[in-house]
Amino acid sequence: MHFYLPVAEMSANIAVFLAMGGAVGFLSGVFGVGGGFLMTPLLMFSGIPPAVAVGTESAHIVASSVSGALAQWRRRNIDIAMGLVLLAGGVLGSLIGVQAVGNLRRIGLFEFFVSLCYVTFMGVIGTLMLIESINTMRRVKGGLVLSPRRSGQHNWVHGLPLKLRFHRSKLYISAIPPFILGVFVGLLAAIMGVGGGFILVPAMIYLLRVPTNVVVGTSLFQITFLTAATTVLHASQNQTVDVALALLLMGGGVIGAQFGAAASVKLKAEHLRFLLAALVLLVGLRFAWQLIAPPSDFYSISPPIGGA
């Protein structure tokens, strides 16, 4: 069964997009990410104009993240104080990013810029995460005991001013690093149509030293409110949110996230990081191929849709 997408200006198969929403929602619940780093590329590869894919995916991430965040809330895995600091920075970054999207569309460079961002960020971050997770699994397999983070263990973050106590994470650190991290994630959310979990999750684990189980819930908490703000900004300033498509993706995403949250408790932390790294790398490689592969049509006289 097909239906018409008014903003994307094309017809779509209901079953296909419901399945896409459910699959990405499942991954959201498992990894604590919004799933935008998968859904936005999938929408673009399915023929949705890049700008519409970015704007609409923000709305989808809201639904899937709410569902996953509620499941993590019931497990007491959310650090509210940390989430609010990240959110404050994220809203600022989102404001800047939405304005940048409008400017890039006007000069016709938006699709190229989005692809370049995916290749760069996902290639670097996925490789680093993959190396770390493989090394961790080797140490575990070799019988080495992984030393947990101790309360007295410090790094350069602890020397910064404006310290706050984050009780759920058992941290007493400066609010500056999580705020800056939030700004960066907000930029990515607005420009790439992602929740930023693929940046936020490893940064919270390795930079801020937040416990892995708290990272998942806190990430979903921040992503929920950040992408809600980003959706409103894209709809009001760029008119690139297709509500019909968003509702279809939400229907599958909400259900998938519940199954994902249940599955996450059955996997070890190092295995979760390995699987997330592999997914990030695969998406980055797909965009890299798109940048270098010859186009199927060398010439087109059709007007641009949703991307300029």
Q: Is residue 43 part of a domain?
A: yes
pLDDT of residue 96: 93
Q: Is residue 305 part of a domain?
A: no
Q: Is residue 304 part of a domain?
A: no
Q: Is residue 152 part of a domain?
A: no
Q: Is residue 75 part of a domain?
A: yes
Q: How many domains does the chain have?
A: 1
| Closest to 261 measured CA to CA, from 121, 58, 77 | 77
Q: Report the distance separating Cα 56 and Cα 114, nearest Å.
A: 15
Q: What are 75-125's pLDDT values in tens digits?
A: 788 888 888 999 999 999 989 988 888 888 888 888 888 888 888 877 887
| Closest to 260 measured CA to CA, from 246, 250, 272 | 272
pLDDT of residue 307: 45
pLDDT of residue 267: 64
pLDDT of residue 306: 46
pLDDT of residue 205: 81
pLDDT of residue 88: 92
pLDDT of residue 183: 92
Give the DSSP letter string of 227-293: HHHHHHHIIIII----HHHHHHHHHHHHHHHHHHHHHHTTS-HHHHHHHHHHHHHHHHHHHHHHHHS
Q: Is residue 297 part of a domain?
A: no
Q: Is residue 196 part of a domain?
A: yes
Q: Report the distance separating Cα 44 and Cα 51, nearest Å.
A: 9
pLDDT of residue 262: 73
Q: Is residue 301 part of a domain?
A: no
Residues of the chain with pLDDT below 50 are 148-152, 301-308
pLDDT of residue 179: 92
**Domain housing 137:** 2-142+157-291
Q: Report the distance separating Cα 257 and Cα 130, nearest Å.
A: 24
Where do we find the tokens 């979903």?
220
Give the H or E element holding residue 32: none
